[in-house]
Structure 1
Amino acid sequence: MRLKIKEGQNTSIVLRASGKLSMEGRVMPIPGPGEVVIKIGACGVCSSDISRAFKKKAYHYPLVMGHEFAGEIISVDAEDDAALLGKQVAVFPLLPCFQCEPCLREAYAQCIQYHYYGSRNDGAYTKYLAVRQWNVLPLPVGVDLRDGALTEPVAVALHGLNRLGLSGGGNRGVERVLIVGAGFIGLVGAEMLRMSCPDIAITVADRNQYKLDLIADPATERVLLEPNQGLERLVTERGGQFDVVIEATGAPSVFRETIRLVRPGGRVLWMGNIEADLLLPQALVSMILRKEISILGTWNSSYAGRAPSDWTRTLELMANGLRPSRYVSDFVRLEDAPDILRRLNERKTGKTKDNIIKAVILPHHE
């Protein structure tokens, strides 16, 4: 059953080869069994999209990227699902197999033979997309599509806090937390940490004053890092003082310095998408052993349809006032997606110092 869609092509941004993006018209999607068609309202640009577009990290070409998205259901496969028409939803991008050992434990983000919208499957840099119905979660009243599209990265940040046991209230003996990296994940993570644990002393460190200025909480300490010194000064002055250190940059040098910054018996959370090989010298490995540091990894987020998960909790937080779109620096039209990707890549490679925190594509914005 379908709402009427105007005749025409489904405009999409297609990655044809590394560095080659084009705007193309594609056939309008039709829902297959168990699918719905989404009119994409907003789609976030992830740092992993930069690697796919310019660093030959795409699994295949051509590819339509985009895995952080929300939209309106405009078409369903079965009449029994007609009540879904018109609903605004966020979409969990990972497509589990439901058959491997992690899936049987309902640890779907750990599926060993998964597919993924915007990576292994075409994603939401487009106007319309057919998605599996299991992957859609209705947005609460009062949560718009611009915030809804950010459910995925917010849930990733929340999952990291869950790994530390710091998302459900209670400090668990933690008094001082350092977050290195004031990108979107670091900023929204700091905000959720304050909401959950109001008495914790939170420090956010970054090289960009513009990013640090987006922190609205007056109790959160902001540390501006010297461009050419990295974390050296912070390590010298405050190394070993933090109960928890969260890496949210992806830079191998920061991964290493978290070991120096955390206190003996403390915990380190590695959250950033690492950009290169990480080499740990013997002295740092010995420090991990002698200080008895716990290093935690985190990836993706938990999702189980309508059952409680990082995703349902994220939408609850949004319903109660969390507005992640406040950290979005650039809302762009679909046709401007190649340009914003280029700008993000130039900033990432150091060619420019563009103050882009987070970009969101609005496919139907004229």
Structure 2
Amino acid sequence: MRAAIYHGPNKVAIDDVPVPDPGPGQVSIAVAYNGICGTDLHEYYAGPIFIPTSPHPLTGAELPLILGHEFAGTISAVGKGVTGYAEGDRVAIEPLYRCGHCGPCSAGTYNVCAQIGFHGLMSDGGMAEYTVVPTDMLHRLPDSVSFELGALVEPMAVAHHAATLGDVGDGDTAMIYGAGPIGIGLWFALRGKGLEDIRVVEPSATRRAAIEALGATTLDPTAVDVPALVADATDGRGVDAVYDAAGVAPAIESALACVGARKPMVSVAIYEKPLTTPLIDLVMKEARIQGSLCYTGADFEAVIALMASGGYDTTGWVSSISIEDVVDQGFEALHSGTKMKVLVDPTR
């Protein structure tokens, strides 16, 4: 089968490798689509970061390995002892490996497992024609949810988890900093929670246009004083939750100026540079910064249900490519900003 294999920075090879067989408690997935994640880009241009260079404690895998942790497909074979699933079942994959016995796992918050691993970062992943996963990673896809949407369940679950941590609901107000795929996912998730007053702050005209086409209200921070505008619109109260999906200091400073008293700023970004943002707004408002990592199964199920009800739209921001084009039309196009979200079709 064809697979995208990571060997190190700027070294991803499309090679033929053996089709993996499922072991006990595992199934084989015929991959329909696999999304390229921002984490994949970090690994390609600056890694290895998360990809282990010695055996991972949960998977035993190490560099080189097959990329891909955002994927959906059809079960093509089942291993010994598997019940409840059969060949032909349509599934999305929750790609987390967890130890099951550390403090977070014991508390049910396995998304912050002390030894957390990701399929496609700490094991061979879904950027291939086939991959093998344990059954605890499986989520059924209803027929009404396309495989294109199915491959987006993982990043949309990241956004849904963050949206939930903001403790907002029907009638509340929110702001999103960054209109990349996670920012778009936050907008969909917040809409699904009943919010209508959502402002998206994004300096890129291309990204603003993409999310505006979906129905979002945007602000260009290079053209308007965002905190002043929000203060005026809310009579100085600020908004009920702010979400940072940008990961840069100016976004944090603006977000903390816009969040209301005793309200959260939820951080779901990766920060490549240390932040030196003054926290006076945080202190004076008794506001808080809430981190958000990954998702749980509940987020996957919520996103799939929202997709089944028509709550997500891929128009204008999602495109697909063949596995042979992963580097030039995938990594390089995303890195240059000419594309927003790319799905790899290994059958194309």
Do they fold alike, i.e. is TM over 0.5?
yes
Report deviation, 1:217.
Answer: 5.6
Report deviation, 1:31.
Answer: 0.5
Where does residue 53 of structure 1 map in the other structure?
44
Q: In structure 1, the residue corresponding to 2:262 is in which secondary structure?
A: strand
Where does residue 101 of structure 1 map in the other structure?
103
Q: In structure 2, the residue corresponding to 1:48 is in which secondary structure?
A: helix
**Native 8 Å contact 1:327 1:358 kept in 2:** no
For the pair 1:288 / 2:282, whether they are aligned, the reply is yes
Change (3 A) 1:142 1:64: same
Q: What is the aligned counterpart of 1:32 among 5, 20, 23?
A: 23
Where does residue 247 of structure 2 map in the other structure?
250
For the pair 1:234 / 2:226, whether they are aligned, the reply is yes
**Native 8 Å contact 2:75 2:86 kept in 1:** yes
Q: What is the aligned counterpart of 1:356 among 333, 339, 342?
A: 339
- Paired with 1:109 and 1:82, the residues of 2 have a C-alpha distance of 24
Q: In structure 2, the residue corresponding to 1:326 is in which secondary structure?
A: coil
- Paired with 1:108 and 1:321, the residues of 2 have a C-alpha distance of 29
Where does residue 335 of structure 1 map in the other structure?
324
Report deviation, 1:343.
Answer: 2.5
Where does residue 127 of structure 1 map in the other structure?
129
- Paired with 1:328 and 1:148, the residues of 2 have a C-alpha distance of 15
- Paired with 2:219 and 2:86, the residues of 1 have a C-alpha distance of 47
Change (3 A) 1:128 1:191: same
For the pair 1:145 / 2:139, whether they are aligned, the reply is no
Give the TM-score of the pair, scaled to structure 1. Answer: 0.84
Where does residue 159 of structure 2 map in the other structure?
157
Report deviation, 1:44.
Answer: 0.7
Report deviation, 1:223.
Answer: 1.3
Where does residue 223 of structure 1 map in the other structure?
219
- Paired with 1:59 and 1:298, the residues of 2 have a C-alpha distance of 23
Give the TM-score of the pair, scaled to structure 2. Answer: 0.88
Report deviation, 1:331.
Answer: 0.7
* Unaligned segments of structure 1, at least 5 residues: 1-9, 304-308, 348-353
Change (3 A) 1:74 1:221: same
Where does residue 202 of structure 2 map in the other structure?
206
Where does residue 301 of structure 1 map in the other structure?
295
Where does residue 13 of structure 2 map in the other structure?
22
**Native 8 Å contact 1:96 1:103 kept in 2:** yes
- Paired with 1:29 and 1:298, the residues of 2 have a C-alpha distance of 33
Where does residue 60 of structure 2 map in the other structure?
none
Report deviation, 1:287.
Answer: 2.6
Change (3 A) 1:222 1:83: closer
Q: What is the aligned counterpart of 2:33 among 18, 42, 56?
A: 42
**Native 8 Å contact 1:252 1:275 kept in 2:** no
**Native 8 Å contact 2:142 2:308 kept in 1:** yes
Where does residue 170 of structure 1 map in the other structure?
170
Report % sequence identity: 26
* Higher mean C-alpha deviation, range 153-162 or range 95-104: 95-104
**Native 8 Å contact 2:24 2:81 kept in 1:** no
Per-residue CA distance 1:304-333 (angstroms, 9 max, x = gap): xxxxx1111111111111235335432110
Change (3 A) 1:288 1:72: same
Letter in 2 for 1:235: P
Change (3 A) 1:277 1:318: same
Change (3 A) 1:109 1:324: farther
- Paired with 1:69 and 1:31, the residues of 2 have a C-alpha distance of 17
Aligned length: 330
Q: In structure 1, the residue corresponding to 2:100 is in which secondary structure?
A: coil
- Paired with 2:313 and 2:273, the residues of 1 have a C-alpha distance of 29
Report deviation, 1:193.
Answer: 1.4
- Paired with 2:136 and 2:261, the residues of 1 have a C-alpha distance of 44
Where does residue 5 of structure 1 map in the other structure?
none
For the pair 1:68 / 2:87, whether they are aligned, the reply is no
- Paired with 1:297 and 1:324, the residues of 2 have a C-alpha distance of 27
Where does residue 88 of structure 1 map in the other structure?
90
**Native 8 Å contact 1:245 1:268 kept in 2:** yes
Report deviation, 1:117.
Answer: 0.6
Change (3 A) 1:80 1:311: closer
Per-residue CA distance 1:346-366 (angstroms, 9 max, x = gap): x2xxxxxx331111111111x
Q: In structure 1, the residue corresponding to 2:77 is in which secondary structure?
A: strand
* Higher mean C-alpha deviation, range 145-154 or range 95-104: 95-104
**Native 8 Å contact 1:150 1:324 kept in 2:** no
- RMSD of aligned alpha carbons: 2.1
**Native 8 Å contact 1:89 1:137 kept in 2:** yes
For the pair 1:195 / 2:184, whether they are aligned, the reply is no
**Native 8 Å contact 1:238 1:261 kept in 2:** yes
Q: In structure 1, the residue corresponding to 2:31 is in which secondary structure?
A: strand
